Amino acid sequence: MKKLKMQRKPTLLRMALATLVVAIVLGFCYMDFTRFGKQEPINQHAVVDMIQKHVFEPVLPDTAVTLPSDFRFHPDYQHEWWQYFANVEDEEGLQYAVQWSYFRIASDERKMVGWQNPQVYISHIVVSNETQVWKEQRMARGGIGQAGMTINPFRLWIDNWNWESLGTTPFPGDLNVATNEFSLKLHNQMIGPFALLGDNGYQPKHDLLPIAAFNISAPFLSVSGEMNLDGNKLIRVKGSAWMSKEWSSQLISQRQKGWDWFVIELNKSETLTISRYRHQDQMPYLFGSIISKTGNTIALSEDQISLKAMKSQILDGGKRVPLEWNIVIPEYSIDLKVTAVNNNLQLPFLIPYWEGPINTTGSHQVQGFMQLTGY
């Protein structure tokens, strides 16, 4: 697709402002301003208009996702998002959750090098158990070697955090993260196939507007390794994990309020994922998938799923977030009550959301993860 581009002389100030715009857009302008003495909404639609004037490649349904080549970066698209969840336990049976995110966001569509590179990188690491949370965020500029990726061998990095493997895909691969407070080294091995959700990896996120993303998921991972928390002795852990990658050119729609996302390991051979995108003055867009180790993926439509928030919690700072849910899919005998393992996982990052491990009761007594934005 041929693009018309305007030549302009970038300045460090303009790049800094563009980076701030991206951070505000990604955060849906739901930053908590109460600590400044007054809470006033920012005009998020004006910010969205500003950043969407740039020309990025559209996400089209006739573009097939191809493996392994689509594990690479896609700089013609505005953003890419790697998301990793792991439920692990130590040798004494104590359970921990690990969450790692890696974002590439383009402030505009130019292909520049060095300090004029428009790419911004953000990464989060969170470790939690029932009572404690360890977390940190990193940000980096593109073009100066502080963050980036290689495809052969596969490696994603930001500062001294990295995911690396010896091949052209992320698996088998190692997540290595070290902060001043904690560190972890986790080895991840595929025990099931990749899944292309939606239509061969093309996943709509609105029923009326052309908002969509490409998606690759790895829903069946075994994980083992070690963690060091608060300077204590090494904790050896093992468990299961999920990883996904998506890329797109539309951060949010004009009237999008947020989303709710659930990943639940129904059993050793099936994983359920449910997503709901909430829009102002419109019905939410709800969809899901049941992914099997055999390679079969069942797409779930809105009329097959009942998703209801049952109970909200008031968190520190006064934010009210629904942390108990009911998920019912009668056709597949799924009736789940979902509860958060640790309520204290409203993450105060540049991209703010509640994200953490969940337990389920009902038809399946299992574990998973939940991500909630826009509350």
Q: Which domains does the chain have, with CATH numbers?
A: 12-372 (2.40.370.10)
- Centre a 10 Å sphere on the Cβ of residue 101 and count the other Cβ atoms it contains: 21
Q: Could you tell me where the DSSP H helices lie in the chain?
A: 12-26, 44-51
pLDDT at 141: 85
Angle between helices 44-51 and 12-26 (to 10 degrees): 130
CA-to-CA distance for 3 and 6, rounded, in angstroms?
10
In SS3 terms, 281-320 reads as CEEEEEEEEEEECCCCEEEECHHHCEEEEEEEEECCCCCE
Q: What is the number of residues in the chain?
A: 375
Strand partners, 325: 309, 338
The encoded tokens of residue 119 equal 């790419």
pLDDT at 263: 98
**How many angstroms separate the Cα of 347 from the Cα of each of 37, 355, 372?**
21, 7, 10
Strand partners, 243: 84, 218
Global confidence as pTM: 0.83
**How many angstroms separate the Cα of 196 from the Cα of each of 55, 83, 193?**
26, 15, 10
CA-to-CA distance for 296 and 197, rounded, in angstroms?
11
Pairing of strands 212-229, 256-267: unpaired
pLDDT at 255: 65
pLDDT per residue of the chain (375 residues) written in tens, 0 to 9? 333 333 333 333 334 434 444 443 443 333 332 222 333 333 334 434 444 555 778 888 888 899 999 999 988 888 899 999 999 999 999 999 999 999 998 876 666 666 667 789 999 999 999 999 999 999 998 878 899 999 999 999 999 999 999 999 999 999 999 999 999 999 999 999 999 998 889 988 877 666 889 999 999 999 999 999 987 789 999 999 999 999 998 765 556 688 999 999 999 999 999 999 988 777 888 999 999 999 899 999 999 999 999 998 888 777 899 999 999 999 999 999 999 999 999 998 887 899 999 999 999 999 999 999 988
> Phi and psi dihedrals of 71, rounded to 5?
-75, -10
pLDDT at 108: 66
